C-alpha cells in the first residue's frame, strides 16, 4: 500500500484515498497532521488483528502544506472516523524528492483502541535526526494515549 502511494506520487498521479468506514456520530475521530510540509501519507486498518496478521492498510489521505504540482491539492489536515472500542492501526509515511532535495520518514505504525466520542491527534513528528508517530487525546490539554508500535509485513 505504501509502495503504491509512492509510485502514484512518483508517476505524477493524483492521490486517491481508499479508506471507507460508515461512521456514526459518536465514533472516534482521528485528526492527522504532519510536521513535514510535503507529501505525508496516512494509512488506517480497522480489521481485527487476529483476522489480519499482515495488517493490510487503506490510504486515509495525505498532508501537503503547499502546492508543488498540478496533481495533488493542498491539504494541511486530515480527519476520519474509526470504530470505537476495537483495535485500530495507523501508519504514516513521508517521502519527498525534487531537484536534489530529499526527505524520507517511515513507514511508521502504531495501534491503539479508541474510545467512543473521543478525538485523537495523530502526528508525524520531525525530530532532529529522525521522526516519530505521535498519538494524543485531543482537547485543551492533550494527553498521551497508550499505543503499541509495530512493524508491518514486508511490502510486496
Q: What is the pLDDT of residues 120-137, one digit of tens each?
A: 999 999 999 899 999 999
Q: Does 44 fall in a domain? A: yes
Strands, DSSP E only, in 51-115? 58-63, 78-81, 88-98, 101-112
Consecutive H or E run containing 8: helix 2-10
Q: How many domains does the chain divide into?
A: 1
The conformation of residue 12, written as its DSSP 8-state character, comes to T
Q: Does 68 fall in a domain? A: yes
pTM of model > 0.75:
yes
Cα gap 63→136, rounded to integer Å: 18
Q: Does 156 fall in a domain? A: no
The mean of the pLDDT values for the chain is: 80
pLDDT band at 3 (very low <50, low <70, confident <90, very high): very low
pLDDT of 2 strictly over 60: no
The conformation of residue 100, written as its DSSP 8-state character, comes to T
Q: Give the residue-averaged pLDDT of 70-94.
A: 85
Strands 131-137 and 119-126: antiparallel
Q: Does 25 fall in a domain? A: yes
State whether residue 6 is helix, strand or coil. Answer: helix
Q: Does 144 fall in a domain? A: yes
Q: What per-residue confidence (pLDDT) applies to 155?
A: 36
Q: Does 155 fall in a domain? A: no
Q: Which domain holds residue 78?
A: 2-149
Residue showing cell 519527498: 96
The conformation of residue 64, written as its DSSP 8-state character, comes to B
pLDDT band at 9 (very low <50, low <70, confident <90, very high): very low
Q: Does 154 fall in a domain? A: no
Sheet of 40-45, strands arranged across: 58-63, 40-45, 88-98, 101-112, 148-149
pLDDT of 12 strictly over 50: no
pLDDT of 14 strictly over 60: no
Residue range 18-66, pLDDT digits in tens: 899 999 999 999 999 999 887 899 999 998 766 655 557 899 998 887 6
Amino acid at each position: 500500500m505504501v509502495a503504491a502511494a509512492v509510485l502514484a506520487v512518483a508517476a505524477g498521479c493524483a492521490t486517491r484515498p481508499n479508506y471507507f468506514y460508515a461512521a456514526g456520530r459518536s465514533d472516534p475521530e482521528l485528526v492527522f497532521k504532519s510536521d513535514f510540509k510535503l507529501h505525508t501519507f496516512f494509512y488506517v486498518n480497522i480489521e481485527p488483528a487476529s483476522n489480519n496478521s499482515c495488517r493490510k492498510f487503506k490510504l486515509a489521505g495525505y498532508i501537503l502544506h503547499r502546492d508543488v504540482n498540478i496533481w495533488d491539492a493542498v491539504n494541511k489536515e486530515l480527519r476520519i472516523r474509526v470504530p470505537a472500542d476495537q483495535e485500530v492501526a495507523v501508519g504514516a509515511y513521508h517521502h519527498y524528492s525534487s531537484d536534489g532535495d530529499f526527505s524520507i520518514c517511515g513507514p511508521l505504525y502504531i495501534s491503539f483502541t479508541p474510545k467512543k466520542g473521543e478525538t485523537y491527534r495523530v502526528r508525524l513528528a520531525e525530530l532532529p535526526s529522525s521522526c516519530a508517530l505521535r498519538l494524543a487525546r485531543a482537547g485543551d490539554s492533550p494527553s498521551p494515549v497508550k499505543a503499541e508500535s509495530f512493524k508491518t509485513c514486508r511490502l510486496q
